[in-house]
Structure 1
Amino acid sequence: MNSSPLLPACCTPLDAHWPLPIVLPDTVLLSTHFDPSQLLGDDFRRSAIEPPPSIQRSVAKRQAEFLAGRICARAALQQLEGSSSVPAIGEDRAPVWPAHICGSITHSTGRAAAIVANKQHWRGLGMDVENLLNAERAERLAGEILTPAEMQRMAAGARDQLALWVTLTFSVKESLFKALYPIVQKRFYFEHAEVLEWTEQGHVRLRLLTDLSSEWRNGTELDAQFGVHDGQLLSLVSIQA
Structure 2
Amino acid sequence: MSITVALPPHPVCCSPLLDHWPLPRALPGVQMLSTRFDPSLLDIEDFQRWGIPAPEAVSKRQTEFLAGRLCAHEALRRATGVASIPAVGEDRAPCWPNGVVGSITHGAGWAAAVAARAEQWRGLGLDVERILVSTRADRLAGEILTPRELENYGDLDDSQRATLVTLTFSIKESLFKALYPLVNKRFYFQEAELIHHDDNGQARLRLLNDLSQEWKSGAELEGQFVQFDGYLLSLVSIAR
TM-score bracket, shorter-length normalisation: over 0.9
SS across alignment from 2:205: strand
Aligned-pair distance for 1:159?
A: 4.8
Q: How many residues align?
A: 237
Letter of the structure 2 residue corresponding to residue 23 of structure 1: A
Q: Which residue in the other structure is 1:24 paired with?
A: 27
* CA RMSD after TM alignment: 1.3
Check conservation: 1:127, 1:237, Cα contact below 8 A. yes
Q: Which residue in the other structure is 1:123 paired with?
A: 122
Within a 5 Å distance, the mapping from 1:138-157 to structure 2 comes to 138-157=137-156
Letter of the structure 1 residue corresponding to residue 113 of structure 2: A
Letter of the structure 2 residue corresponding to residue 41 of structure 1: I
Within a 5 Å distance, the mapping from 1:173-192 to structure 2 comes to 173-192=172-191
Answering whether residue 99 of structure 2 is matched by residue 97 of structure 1, we say no
1:32-55 Cα shifts (integer Å, max 9, x gaps): 000000001312123x13215xx1
Q: Which residue in the other structure is 1:114 paired with?
A: 113
Q: Which residue in the other structure is 1:73 paired with?
A: 72
Aligned-pair distance for 1:223?
A: 1.1
Answering whether residue 45 of structure 2 is matched by residue 45 of structure 1, we say no
Aligned-pair distance for 1:197?
A: 1.7
Q: Which residue in the other structure is 1:210 paired with?
A: 209
Q: Which residue in the other structure is 2:238 paired with?
A: 239
CA distance in 1, matches of 2:157, 2:196: 14
CA distance in 1, matches of 2:74, 2:116: 13
Check conservation: 2:101, 2:121, Cα contact below 8 A. yes
CA distance in 1, matches of 2:180, 2:43: 34
Letter of the structure 1 residue corresponding to residue 111 of structure 2: A
Aligned-pair distance for 1:158?
A: 4.9
TM-score normalised by structure 1 residue count: 0.95
CA distance in 1, matches of 2:152, 2:178: 25
CA distance in 1, matches of 2:237, 2:57: 31
1:202-228 Cα shifts (integer Å, max 9, x gaps): 111110000011111001111100000
Aligned-pair distance for 1:5?
A: 2.1
CA distance in 1, matches of 2:172, 2:198: 16
Check conservation: 1:21, 1:227, Cα contact below 8 A. yes
Return closer, same or farther for 1:229/1:120 CA change in 2, 3 Å cut-off. Answer: same
1:15 to 14, 18, 21: 18
Q: Which residue in the other structure is 1:133 paired with?
A: 132
Q: Which residue in the other structure is 2:228 paired with?
A: 229
Using the aligned pairs only, state the percent identity: 56
Check conservation: 1:49, 1:67, Cα contact below 8 A. no
CA distance in 2, matches of 1:29, 1:75: 9
Letter of the structure 1 residue corresponding to residue 15 of structure 2: T
Q: Which of structure 1's runs of 4+ aligned residues deviate more than 4 A?
A: 156-159
